[in-house]
Chains A and B, each alone.
Chain A
Amino acid sequence: MTDRILVDAKNTFCPGPLMELISNMKMAEVGDELELLSTDEGSAADIPEWVNKVGHEIVDSFTEEEVLHIVVKKIK
């Protein structure tokens, strides 16, 4: 298994966590897992919506010390 690619988008507002995820997904290989860190309130809903719409996979999602961690696997 390859290491998870960490995308630290804590305390960032523009372009924001989802745009960072999309950007990093494009650079990743199919099968890679990306762990996104976000403190943005909207991310909890936005990110799964986009991931499902495009057809990637949410592997894990949890909140630790007020930071949302979402692990996404690139499927295509």
Chain B
Amino acid sequence: MHILVVGGGMGGTILANNLARRLSGELEQGSSKITMLSASDKHMYQPGLLYVAVGKMSTSELYRDQKSLLESSIDFHVDPVEKFDLDNNSVTTKSGKKISYDILCIATGSRGNAEGIPGLAENSCQFYTEADAVAMYKKLSKFEGGKVVVATGVPHKCPMSPLEITFFLIDYFKKRGIWDKVDLHYTYPIGRVHSLAPVAEWAAPEFDKEGVTYETLFNMKEVVPGKVISEEDSSAEFDLLVTVPPHKGMQVIEDNELGKGGFIPTDKKKLNMEGRDNVFVLGDTTNLPISKAGSTAHFEAEALGENIAAIVQMGEPVRDYDGKVFCFIEAGDGKATYAMFDYNNPPNPQAPTSGLHWFKTAYNRMYWASARGII
């Protein structure tokens, strides 16, 4: 069986490694093969960008060689897919190679799409690429006070990031001693300050305590210099606009008409692409109504690893993905908490503690062991 993994981000990497461990015998005998196609020879720890944007992490800590994270039995190529021919079980890569597969796993991810809102890219800072995070830090370090607005687009990667960047900004301005010169205004697309009700109930009083003002049901329509206007006919003036931009799936997914907005219709339990039994989708690439976050990709990859190995060895998958998500929430002031939930159990986050902040700090460095499928 030839398993082809397209995408070398967190989901693709954990899945490929998980499969390589489970199918080590088959790979050694040559009865199975795992190939990974990625757009880059580097692997980025994406959650680190939030820290880079506020000067808490250096850019060199974000990367490792993709090859160093993969089991040696995985055939890895930097040659992104350009064409998917699902009817004939094959893909064509950028270099022109045609590769056939028995099982295809698509984990191409998502990207910030500030261009989707007129004026947003030109008038805001964001932290979803290395260049943007560094530019944001430079802008912050020159900022001497004024109106700061945090605005969030939909959908977006990591639902915790709007809150986290806000708490980090408070910390940052306090450390610089200019907090009294800053008016921080937080906006959010739905009717409370965070999508998780218990998190919103905790965060709103925290905002009140710090003097952060907020407006809910605020979806960016247009940004002009100094002002962001919402679809709900409201607006907020700013000297500095920090945005979590709306996200899109990858262009190649749209170009191949695999899913609207670059997100592929996916079965929420089996994680196969709707209508295809041998095509699986994971991470940000799915259209599932769950968090676009590393932990989602991680748990999906583990469920898929078990299932695909079972398909290879027994001809049938063995378990369902239960919708599990685990998200750390950096709460500023050296504290953090987390939210965990699945399709059946709502989250019940507890008060932030410094212990959880250290756990997250340590986890930021232990990510690589996680990508290798160890933890």
Question: What is the interface of chain A, defined by CB distance below 8 A to chain B?
Answer: 7-9, 11-20, 22-23, 26-27, 42, 45-46, 49-50, 53-54
Contacts and interface: CB of A to CB of B under 8 A. Distances in A.
Contacts of A13: 195-196, 341, 346-347
Interface string B180-218: 000000000111000111000000000000000000010
B55 interface: no
Contacts of B196: 13-14, 16
Interface residues of B, number: 31
Given A49-B217, A50-B232, 9 more contacts: A12-B289, A13-B347, A14-B196, A16-B196, A17-B289, A22-B190, A22-B219, A49-B191, A50-B217
Contact of B290 (A14, A45, A53): A14
A11 to B, nearest CB: 5
A9 to B, nearest CB: 5
Given A14-B325, A27-B260, A50 B190 contact: yes
B261 interface: yes
Interface string B218-256: 010000000000011100000000000010000000000
B159 interface: yes
A50 to B, nearest CB: 6
Contact of B261 (A27, A45, A54): A27
A53 B233 CA distance: 8
Contacts of A46: 190-191
Contact of B289 (A8, A26, A27, A50): A8
B253 to A, nearest CB: 13
A11 B219 contact: no
Contacts of B195: 13-16, 19
Most central of A8, A13, A22, A46 by chain B CB within 10 Å: A13
Given A54-B231, A54-B232, A26 B346 contact: no
A50 B343 CA distance: 25
A11 B343 contact: yes
B339 A14 contact: yes
A8 B286 CA distance: 14
Most central of A7, A8, A26 by chain B CB within 10 Å: A26
Contacts of B261: 26-27
Contacts of A20: 289
Given A12-B290, A14-B291, A15-B291, A26 B246 contact: yes
A53 B289 contact: no
B231 A19 contact: no
A46 to B, nearest CB: 5
Most central of A17, A19, A46 by chain B CB within 10 Å: A19
A18 B289 contact: no
B160 to A, nearest CB: 9
B155 interface: yes
A14 B344 CA distance: 13
B78 interface: no
Given A9-B289, A50-B217, A18 B190 contact: yes
Given A11-B344, A18-B190, A22-B154, A53 B217 contact: yes
A8 to B, nearest CB: 7
A37 B217 CA distance: 20
A26 B190 contact: no
